[in-house]
Amino acid sequence: MFSKNSRFLSLIAILLMAGIFVAGSTSNVSAQAAVTNTADATVLAAITIAATTNLNFASVYPGVPKTVARTATGADTTAAIFTITGQAGAGISAFLVLPEYVSETGGDRMTVSFGTTDMALDTTTTANPSTIVAGDGWIDQDPRSFPAALVIGGTVPAVTTTKVYLGGKVIPSVFQTAGAYTGDIILTVAYNGN
């Protein structure tokens, strides 16, 4: 038989243990917290480049150099046109890899050269190689060095293209082999974050 005091002491002990258990559980639940935040970014459209028109010298005679102006849009001779498309007004860096010669299938080569004013850059939608003026972008540029401020089109009004016009000169030798000569002109363009 337990005495009255013993029963009360037992009750206190039980309640004490229960209290510690409950308090301990409560402490564990409240000891940790977490939150989820986000990282966010909006990526604009990637740049695309199209070789719209080839630099076409048409027929040339052995021993007679021939120049195609950056303004040429004739039926036979044409300036090269590259069209760069991307985010309107975005700063870009561009680089042309120019050939030193063009070659025919038999392996003969013909020298091709590019002068320091053989390139124009058109940021409008209205101009073409023959009508571009300084206000349309850049004229008489060195194709080996694009302007640092080069952009895609403009923002007011929104224009999403910049066109590159390129002329050049071929210098056939007196004994140049007859045939069709070709060479690659490679344009590389990337956003520069400006």
Buried-state track 45-60, b at ≥16 Cβ within 10 A, e below 16: eebebeeebebebeeb
- 45 lies in the binding site for another protein (CB under 8 A): yes
Q: Which is nearer to another protein, 48 or 105 (CB)?
A: 48
If binding is defined by CB under 8 A, does position 35 make contact with another protein? Answer: yes
The verdict on 184 binding another protein (CB under 8 A) reads no
DSSP E strands, 80-193 = 80-85, 92-97, 101-103, 109-113, 119-122, 137-141, 161-166, 168-171, 186-191
**Would you call the peptide bond into 157 cis, given omega within 30 degrees of 0 as the criterion?**
yes
Query: Which tokens in the block code for residue 140?
Result: 């008489």
The verdict on 3 binding another protein (CB under 8 A) reads: no
Q: Does 64 bind another protein (CB under 8 A)?
A: no
Q: Using the rule CB under 8 A, is 33 a contact of another protein?
A: yes
Residue 160, interface with another protein (CB under 8 A)? no
> Does 58 help bind another protein (rule: CB under 8 A)?
no
Report the alpha-carbon distance of residue 131 to residue 127 in Å, rounded: 6
Residue (30 or 59) nearer to another protein, CB: 30
Q: Contact between 34 and another protein (CB under 8 A)?
A: yes
Contact segment (CB under 8 A) with another protein among 28-36, 94-102, 126-134, 135-143 equals 28-36
